[in-house]
Structure 1
Amino acid sequence: MLKIEKFAAIDIGSNAIRLLIATVIEREGSSPLFKKTSLVRVPIRLGADVFLEEKISEKNYHRMIDAMTAFSLIMKTHNVVSYRACATSAMREARNGTDIAASIFETTGIRIHIIDGTDEAAIIASTDLKDLIEDNKVFLYVDVGGGSTEFTVFANGKSIVSRSFKLGTVRILNDMVRESIWDEVRDWIKENTQQYSKINVIGSGGNINSIYKSSNKKIGKPLSYFFMSSYFERIKEMTYHERIFELQMNPDRADVIIPATRIYLSAMKWSKAKNIYVPKIGLADGIIKSLYNERAAKDMEVR
């Protein structure tokens, strides 16, 4: 007898807002199956507002209301049993972020949790990331967002050290990242990886997923430093419109792809990693896992 339920996660980032619906299938005596059922992505670039004006604009506030109303209806149609909406860098730094979250809840019924970089890293760590992190290997996990990038070093199957930097693709596009931030990231990576003889990078985020898809690599196989370097040089030489048409990128991906690739490439260089693995997991996946674990724990209490 199978138990089948749907859970949903809303990831409110600096570049886009995503709704992920996952079907969780349970069978007694087996580990649960998590199947991605639906993914809706809306390119509301909140970071362009916040990092320049320190607040979310009236226009984007109304776009968020429309998106959350739509997400609410989609979740209802799917019979979602539990959901969580988490907002990261942009809403965290917006002067009106808390007020807008309250207004969205009042208008749409969607409650938004504004989380910090540490919470974000912890949620992502609850995903299938642990299946990739082998006890005898060392990894630098790099999650690139529009407003910030989270770095975590994993060794002996455990998280050793983690840090969030205000180094995001939308910030870089708006020329809001000082050279000193790059220096801080470089020094942190070198300091926390130099004691290991061999390290690999794990990349997370929409941009590295886009790069991986274009590489035609077999799922599970890493991208090499040479590939990433060649890819970076190639996209830098193309115009914004060439990247959209020739590489078939979404317009809101075609500009951020350059700073994102630079971040991944820099992390590989500074950690002396030869490969980057792309397991296609992120904040939304972590939220789904957290919701399921919370529900499972509650069911055990009831019994």
Structure 2
Amino acid sequence: MLTIEKYAAIDIGSNAIRLLVANVIEQENSPTLFRKNELIRVPIRLGEDVFTKGAISEKNTQRMLDAMQAFRLLMNAHQVKYYRACATSAMREAINGDAVVKMVKEKTSIEIEIIDGKEEAAIIAATDLHSIIQKSRVYLYVDVGGGSTECTLYDQGKVKTSRSFKIGTVRILNHLVTESAWKRMLRWITDETSSYSKITVIGSGGNINKIMKMSGRKSSKSLSYIHLLNFHEKLNNLSYDDRVIKLGLNPDRADVIIPALQIYLRTMKWSGAEQIIVPSIGLSDGIIKSLYKSK
């Protein structure tokens, strides 16, 4: 007996809003399969409003409403059975975040949950990493977003501890990450990883996925610290225009990719990791998995 249902995840981040539609396939006496059907990304960059002015602007509120109306129509067309919409750093810090959530529900009937950093890290931890994580090794899972970075330590194949930091690509671009914020992350990583002789970083987020794709290596393969360091230097030596024209980066990716690299490089250096694995999963995947488990 084969059962196929469509699930959807809406990830309202600080840099972009995403809709992931996935087929959830159940078979008798076999593991449930999760297969991506469609992924739509809209680079609204809510964080640029919130982190500099404290609120989402009227312009971006309308753009968000337009995106949500489109997502509702797409979910209807796909005949999605279950969905979950989660808003992260920008929405939880916006003084008009609750008002925007109410407006979206009235206009589109989509209910948005504004989740805290702990819940965000828990959802990300729900992603299926069993094919990557080995019980004999220790991993630091680093998910870099526009407004925050979630770090989760895995030991013996299980989550040992996790923490969210207000360090993200959009914040860095707008010079809103203080030295004390970096020091808090440094202290947490060194305190949690210093007792281990070897750490491997697992990286997630749109930027590290793009870097992996540009490297020509397959997903779930690893990149070395030296590779990231050299790539960071290469990007720094190119202007924004050259990153768009010569490297073919999207305009909304060409600026945030450099601060993303800074975060990954620092977490690798502080944990002593020489390699970063990129499995091409993120919050949207975690939303689908956690939604399925709840049903």
Indicate whether the TM-score tops 0.5: yes
The match for 1:245 is 245
Q: CA deviation at 1:184?
A: 1.5
Aligned 8 A contact 1:204 1:282 in 2: yes
Q: How does 1:173-212 map to 2 (within 5 A)?
A: 173-212=173-212
The match for 1:220 is 220
| Aligned equivalents of 1:281, 1:221: Cα separation in 2 | 13
| Aligned equivalents of 1:104, 1:75: Cα separation in 2 | 15
| Aligned equivalents of 2:221, 2:11: Cα separation in 1 | 27
The match for 2:120 is 120
- CA deviation string 1:68-120 (max 9, x = no partner): 00000000000000001000000000000011101110111010000011101
| Aligned equivalents of 1:130, 1:55: Cα separation in 2 | 39
The letter for the 2-side match of 1:95 is I
| Aligned equivalents of 1:19, 1:184: Cα separation in 2 | 32
The letter for the 1-side match of 2:90 is A
Gaps of 5+ in 1: 296-303
The CA RMSD over aligned residues, in Å, is: 0.8
Q: Structure 1: which 4+ aligned runs deviate by more than 4 Å?
A: none
The match for 2:134 is 134
Secondary structure of 1:129's match? Answer: coil
| Aligned equivalents of 1:210, 1:171: Cα separation in 2 | 20
What is the number of equivalent residue pairs in this alignment? Answer: 295
Aligned 8 A contact 1:11 1:284 in 2: yes
The match for 2:47 is 47
Aligned 8 A contact 1:129 1:281 in 2: no
Q: CA deviation at 1:35?
A: 0.8
Q: CA deviation at 1:165?
A: 0.7
Secondary structure of 2:259's match? Answer: helix
Q: How does 1:1-303 map to 2 (within 5 A)?
A: 1-295=1-295
| Aligned equivalents of 1:97, 1:220: Cα separation in 2 | 36
| Aligned equivalents of 1:73, 1:144: Cα separation in 2 | 29
Q: CA deviation at 1:276?
A: 0.1
| Aligned equivalents of 1:25, 1:130: Cα separation in 2 | 18
- So what's the TM-score if we normalise by structure 2? 0.98
Aligned 8 A contact 1:235 1:243 in 2: yes
Aligned 8 A contact 2:6 2:22 in 1: yes
Aligned 8 A contact 2:23 2:36 in 1: yes
The match for 1:299 is none
| Aligned equivalents of 2:155, 2:202: Cα separation in 1 | 13
| Aligned equivalents of 1:2, 1:158: Cα separation in 2 | 31
The match for 1:298 is none
| Aligned equivalents of 1:132, 1:140: Cα separation in 2 | 12
Q: CA deviation at 1:294?
A: 1.9
- So what's the TM-score if we normalise by structure 1? 0.96
Gaps of 5+ in 2: none
Q: Which moved more, 1:94-103 or 1:156-165?
A: 156-165
| Aligned equivalents of 2:64, 2:135: Cα separation in 1 | 42
The letter for the 2-side match of 1:122 is A
Aligned 8 A contact 2:132 2:220 in 1: no
| Aligned equivalents of 2:293, 2:181: Cα separation in 1 | 37
Secondary structure of 1:131's match? Answer: coil
Q: Which moved more, 1:35-44 or 1:24-33?
A: 24-33
| Aligned equivalents of 1:118, 1:279: Cα separation in 2 | 22
Aligned 8 A contact 2:219 2:280 in 1: no
Q: CA deviation at 1:178?
A: 1.0
| Aligned equivalents of 1:291, 1:91: Cα separation in 2 | 21
Identity of aligned residues (%): 60
| Aligned equivalents of 1:198, 1:135: Cα separation in 2 | 13
- CA deviation string 1:256-283 (max 9, x = no partner): 0000000001111111101000011111
Secondary structure of 1:162's match? Answer: strand
Q: CA deviation at 1:291?
A: 1.6
The letter for the 1-side match of 2:142 is V
- CA deviation string 1:221-265 (max 9, x = no partner): 200011011001000111001111111111000000000000001
The match for 1:301 is none
